[in-house]
Amino acid sequence: MKKYLIILTILFVDVCYSQIPVEIFMGNDKSTLDIMFFRYFKNSENKDSDWLFFNRNRVSINYKVTPSSNLPSFGFTEAISFNHPSLKGFAPVFVAQIFSTGLFPKSGFQYVNISEQMTFFSWIVSELLKNPKFDFFVLLRLTPEINHSLNWFIQFETLSVFPSNQNDLYNFTQRARLGIKLSELQFGFAADFNQVGQNSFKTNSNFGGFVRYDF
């Protein structure tokens, strides 16, 4: 597994010559730092190849943090997919995720559709571990034009985690962003929701504002 992480790190460095969006979300319950992007690797002719790299790094800090509870959480996700034109946006994908609870290799299928004012990104992946969990992730981003210098920034994402072990919990997350896009800057209202459980669910919500910039 170490060799895969080394490969992903090298690929990350190569892709980082592109713009990198960074979001800061300050809510009523916690604050988060979120770096998420996906980029096609360039071929020898400096055109987009069939290989797509996905990166996401998140850090969350609870305002009620103590030395023993509500500790900061982090997550790192790196994924590579092969998007042949004949697959019409569908592609096999390999994912490596690192959380405070450990390292989780995953594989599955994804779908990507990117245009000037719309991005749709989704995957269904399974852990490559005993008693795996299954992830269903969807990201929809819209930036319709307001005038020649302003656009709306509308983003919704959902992550649903389904366990194969009956003793494990279901985990559902939704994140919504609604704001204005001014060149490389986006800002506006934000809300995050999370539900964890089986027959009954513990629900958390976080409302506030976000600032996002494409460096």
Query: What's the Cα-to-Cα distance from 191 to each of 20, 35, 59, 104, rounded to whole Å?
Result: 22, 17, 16, 27
With 0.75 as the threshold, say if the pTM is over it.
yes
- Residue 109: helix, strand or coil by DSSP? strand
Q: What is the mean pLDDT of residues 58-67?
A: 94
- So what's the pLDDT on residue 18? 57
* Residue 4 reports pLDDT greater than 50: no
The answer to whether residues 106 and 81 touch, using CB atoms and an 8 Å cutoff, is no
Q: What is the pLDDT of residues 127-149, one digit of tens each?
A: 999 999 999 999 999 999 999 99
Q: From the CB of residue 37, how many other CB atoms can be counted at a distance below 10 Å?
A: 17
Range(s) of the domain holding residue 59: 2-214
* Lowest-pLDDT range of 38-42, 79-83, 135-139, 168-172: 38-42
- Strands 21-27 and 133-142 come out as unpaired
Q: What is the mean pLDDT of residues 199-210?
A: 97
- Strands 73-82 and 48-62 come out as antiparallel
Q: What is the pLDDT of residues 68-82, one digit of tens each?
A: 899 999 999 999 999
Q: How confident is the model at residue 3 (pLDDT cuts 50, 70, 90)?
A: very low
- So what's the pLDDT on residue 101? 85
Q: How confident is the model at residue 44 (pLDDT cuts 50, 70, 90)?
A: confident
- So what's the pLDDT on residue 46? 87
The CATH number of the domain where 152 resides is what? 2.40.160
* Residue 1 reports pLDDT greater than 50: no
The answer to whether residues 186 and 212 touch, using CB atoms and an 8 Å cutoff, is yes
Exposure on the CB side of residue 207, measured as CA atoms within 13 A: 0
Cα angle, residue 201 at apex, residues 197 and 203 outer, rounded to 5°: 115
Q: What is the mean pLDDT of residues 105-112?
A: 98
* Lowest-pLDDT range of 16-25, 113-122, 129-138, 151-160: 16-25
Q: What is the mean pLDDT of residues 194-200?
A: 95
Q: From the CB of residue 155, how many other CB atoms can be counted at a distance below 10 Å?
A: 21
Number of domains in the chain: 1
CA distance 105 to 76: 12
